[in-house]
Chains A and B, each alone.
Chain A
Amino acid sequence: GAVVSQHPSRVICKSGTSVKIECRSLDFQATTMFWYRQFPKQSLMLMATSNEGSKATYEQGVEKDKFLINHASLTLSTLTVTSAHPEDSSFYICSAPGQGSTGELFFGEGSRLTVL
């Protein structure tokens, strides 16, 4: 089946630095990718929809200058957390819809960000 890969799986950084997380669709093309943030009590929050060749669409309350999303190609989307602070520590997950009419989402493995 379709595979989505995320990298890095874990990253620790100092406060004030920027961190980039990559999301790749390995065996299919994804014109759209979704970025989620998962909070400690497990709920998923959709942050933004990444669109290949155009600007990302951010959900209400998500700072677009803080969470930069770039969908550079049909197989790669990146999320950059700029000037990270401890409150940005979280589990970030990307996903991409598979091809076909069933609307199944394929998820990356997730990236655990810890900001010291």
Chain B
Amino acid sequence: GNSVTQMEGPVTLSEEAFLTINCTYTATGYPSLFWYVQYPGEGLQLLLKATKADDKGSNKGFEATYRKETTSFHLEKGSVQVSDSAVYFCALSDTSGNQFYFGTGTSLTVIP
């Protein structure tokens, strides 16, 4: 079946540090992959997405590449800011687009 495995947190980084949050998936067919971000007290917002192998999603300095060979979609940012402190969810939707699967979320805290 489909599933998403995400690096457990919490993660604490100093401002301007490099960020990687690992995400791997199991899926049949050709899923779409997403990273969502949740700021404190809010719902989830789409951060970036990739719909096919080798696609790179990017937004606000964050990047993730859809790697079919390693079934991964790791989130990276070269220099984090305090405002990036949030919970990050990796997710996939199946080929039909009707089923969605989320990782457990990774809490990131960036300290000045």
Contacts and interface: CB of A to CB of B under 8 A. Distances in A.
Interface of A: 4, 6, 32, 34, 42-44, 93, 95, 97, 101-110, 112
B44 A95 contact: yes
Given A42-B107, A44-B89, A107 B98 contact: no
A103 B97 contact: yes
Interface in B4-60: 32, 34, 36, 38, 41-46, 49, 51
Pick the 5 closest A-B CB pairs, nearest first.
Answer: A103-B93, A103-B97, A107-B43, A42-B105, A107-B44
A102 B105 contact: no
B107 A34 contact: no
Interface residues of B, number: 24
19 contacts: A42-B87, A42-B104, A44-B89, A44-B102, A44-B105, A95-B44, A97-B97, A102-B97, A103-B32, A104-B34, A105-B91, A105-B93, A106-B46, A107-B44, A108-B43, A109-B42, A109-B43, A110-B41, A110-B43
Interface of B is mostly: strand
Given A42-B107, A102-B97, A105-B34, 15 more contacts: A4-B43, A101-B51, A102-B32, A102-B49, A103-B93, A103-B100, A104-B93, A105-B46, A106-B46, A107-B36, A107-B43, A107-B44, A107-B45, A108-B43, A109-B42
Interface of B: 32, 34, 36, 38, 41-46, 49, 51, 87, 89, 91, 93-94, 97-98, 100, 102, 104-105, 107
Contact of B98 (A32, A95, A104, A106): A32
A102 B46 CA distance: 12
Contacts of B98: 32, 97
Contacts of A32: 98
B80 to A, nearest CB: 19
A106 B34 CA distance: 12
A43 B104 contact: yes
